[in-house]
Every structure is written in structure tokens, then in C-alpha cells.
Amino acid sequence: MTCGFLVLDKPAGLSSHSCVSRVRRAYGLKRVGHGGTLDPAVTGVLPIALGPATRLLPYLEGDKTYRGVVQLGQRTDSDDLEGTLLEQRPLPPLDPGALEAVLEGFRGPIQQRPPAVSAVHVNGQRAYALARQGHNLELPPRPVTIHHLELLAWHPERGQLELEVHCSAGTYIRSLARDLGEQLGCGGCLARLRRTGALGFNLEQSVTLESLEPQPPALLDPLAVLGHLPRHALSAADLAGWRCGRMQPTAETWDEDTAVVVVDPDGNLAGMARVHSAGLLQPRLVLDAAS
């Protein structure tokens, strides 16, 4: 059974859905999904799960890392250069010290308003669909965390900042570009973006779409991908009960609700469990369930 992960270096100009379709054809599978949608203009790490590994996506690490370019002096309706220009302003005098002072206010836990053109749900519809219908949306802010925000370069002649961002799931770099511009008093939007890490994967593990033909590459082993989580090995006596969805005893003292990788007596992935209470694991995903 095909089960594993592929890290795609997504090119510009393709949607994440189109990339999944290419992978589906290359491996001859219907059950293929991705983790962390990338806008068509954005390149970089797009994690793709194949076969039963699609059910493991919620257990992967959520943080993401990006390198991007912010264009100061311009505001657009989509908060990037793909959108319609709303306003153009002159840049104030800026130097790396002044920029660092503003960046400091975005480090750590912050409240961030998603872009109007985004996949956020509003009354059962995607925000981007409502925006295209002419609705003027002001989405409410939500908590995100920017763990690392580094100024890589400042190009005053072009009014562009190069940034590296390590952030929690749900963070919009387009919103960061917009808000940086607001704080600097000149407006801003995202010019270019490349994702260098997502869900525990990085660019060094990635392959190109071209490498899928004629022979697609080997997949990453789910057990290696889930290495950040604790592991429980089933005994031969416990295997039948696990396959029937029964609680499993454990001598470990993990915190309640901790996700745990479960392996069978041969060391193969058997599924996922959560710590139900002291000494007990509750099956959450059983890959070879008894019929």
C-alpha cells in the first residue's frame, strides 16, 4: 500500500490543487492531499500526503518559515502586488535601525487581520469569493505568533525589505507586509514570497514537478516524519484489541491528550492514539482496523 509524504517545491503560477492533481497522476492514486495551501504566485515547500498518510496531516508540526520581499509605498486590495493598486505614497526616511524598531513590534504573539482576499470562511463562504463579488470585507483579527522575524536586506532605491519569517499556522505574510507598511506610514504589500519550511519539512527534502516523470521519487516514511511525537509499541497480545479500537495500556506518563504514534510488533505504523488518562491510550486512527 502506498503511504507516505512528498515535499514539492511548488513553482509560481500553479495552484496547490493543480500540484496535487499532478502528483495524483504520477503515482496513480486518488487519495492525495496537501498541507498548507500556497497562493499561485508563492513558491516553495508544499507538503503532500499520499494514501493513508493523508489522515496523518493533522499530527504534523504546524509552524512555517518564509523568505519574502515587502514593497513599501503601495497598498493593494489583496495585500500583494497581484492585486489592484489602491494607493501609492512616498517613503519616509528609513534606515536599518528604524526598520528594526518597527519589526520588533511584530515579534512574538500578535493579533493579525487576515487579507480580504483569503481562504478564511465568512458566513459559510470563502473571503476571496465575497471580495470578488464586490463585498468590502474587514475581517476580524486573530491571534498568531511570529517566532522569528529577521531583516535580511533593505533596498531604499526600490523601497523593498527582504525578510525571513518563522511563524505559527494561520499567519499571513501578506498581512504582515500590509501592517508593516501601515506602521511605517507609507503602506506596504507583499512583492514575492517563498516558503522554505512547513509542517516539519524543508526545501532540502523537496522535489520539483519535473522529477515526477517518468518515475516518481520514493516517498518519505511516515514514521520518520512523525518522529517529533512520542511512540508506543504494541505487544503481540495487544494487537488484536488495537485493531478493534480498544483502549491500550501504557506504562508511560504522558500528559493527557498527547498525540502518540502507535507501531505494531514488527515496528510498522499501526496508527495514532491520544492519552486518555493515566496509563491508557485511546485509538484515534487505526490503519489496519478489523473488519
Each residue of 255-291: pLDDT tens digit? 999 999 999 999 999 999 999 988 899 999 999 887 7
Q: Quick one: what percent of the chain has pLDDT higher than 90?
A: 82
119 pLDDT higher than 60? no
**Per the domain annotation, does 188 fall within a domain?**
yes
> pLDDT: is 198 or 117 the higher one?
198
Overall average pLDDT of the 27-48 stretch: 94
Q: Kindly report, residue by residue over 105-118, the tens digit of the pLDDT.
A: 999 999 999 987 65
167 pLDDT higher than 90? yes
**Per the domain annotation, does 100 fall within a domain?**
yes
Shared-domain flag, residues 171 and 216:
no
CATH number at residue 157: 3.30.2350.10
How many other CB atoms are there within 10 angstroms of residue 138's CB atom? 7
Q: Kindly report, residue by residue over 49-82, the tens digit of the pLDDT.
A: 999 999 999 999 989 999 999 999 999 988 999 9
Shared-domain flag, residues 53 and 71:
no
Mean pLDDT score across all residues of the chain: 92
Radius of gyration from C-alpha coordinates of the chain: 22
Distance CA 78, CA 71 (A): 13
Distance CA 11, CA 99 (A): 30
For residue 61 the three cell numbers come to 508540526
For residue 279 the three cell numbers come to 496509563
Shared-domain flag, residues 168 and 131:
yes
**Per the domain annotation, does 12 fall within a domain?**
yes
> Residue 132's pLDDT is what?
60
> Residue 116's pLDDT is what?
78
Whether the bond between 52 and the residue before it is cis, its omega within 30 degrees of 0, is no
What's the CA dihedral at 130, 135, 141, 143 to 10 degrees? 10
Query: What letter represents residue 283's amino acid?
Result: P
Q: Quick one: what percent of the chain has pLDDT higher than 70?
A: 92
**Per the domain annotation, does 77 fall within a domain?**
yes
Shared-domain flag, residues 68 and 52:
no
Shared-domain flag, residues 52 and 72:
no
Residues spanned by the domain of 140: 64-198
**Per the domain annotation, does 291 fall within a domain?**
no
**Per the domain annotation, does 178 fall within a domain?**
yes
CATH number at residue 264: 2.30.130.10
**Per the domain annotation, does 211 fall within a domain?**
yes
- Give the active site residues: 39
Shared-domain flag, residues 110 and 183:
yes
Shared-domain flag, residues 212 and 239:
no
Shared-domain flag, residues 120 and 194:
yes
**Count of domains forming the chain:** 3
Shared-domain flag, residues 170 and 192:
yes
User: DSSP characters for the chain?
Assistant: ---EEEEEEEPTT--HHHHHHHHHHHHT-S-EEESS---TT-EEEEEEEEGGGGGGGGGS---EEEEEEEEETEEETTSBTTS-EEEE-PPPP--HHHHHHHHHTTSEEEEEPPPSSSS-EETTEEHHHHHHTT----PPPEEEEEEEEEEEEEETTTTEEEEEEEE-TT--HHHHHHHHHHHHTS-EEEEEEEEEEETTEEGGG-B-GGGGSSSPPPPBPHHHHTTTS-EEEPPHHHHHHHHTT--EE----PPTT-EEEEE-TTS-EEEEEEEEETTEEEEEEETT---
137 pLDDT higher than 70? no
**Per the domain annotation, does 105 fall within a domain?**
yes
Overall average pLDDT of the 3-17 stretch: 95
> Residue 144's pLDDT is what?
97
Overall average pLDDT of the 12-19 stretch: 94
Overall average pLDDT of the 206-223 stretch: 95
Shared-domain flag, residues 73 and 132:
yes
Shared-domain flag, residues 87 and 155:
yes
Shared-domain flag, residues 53 and 11:
yes
> Residue 140's pLDDT is what?
83
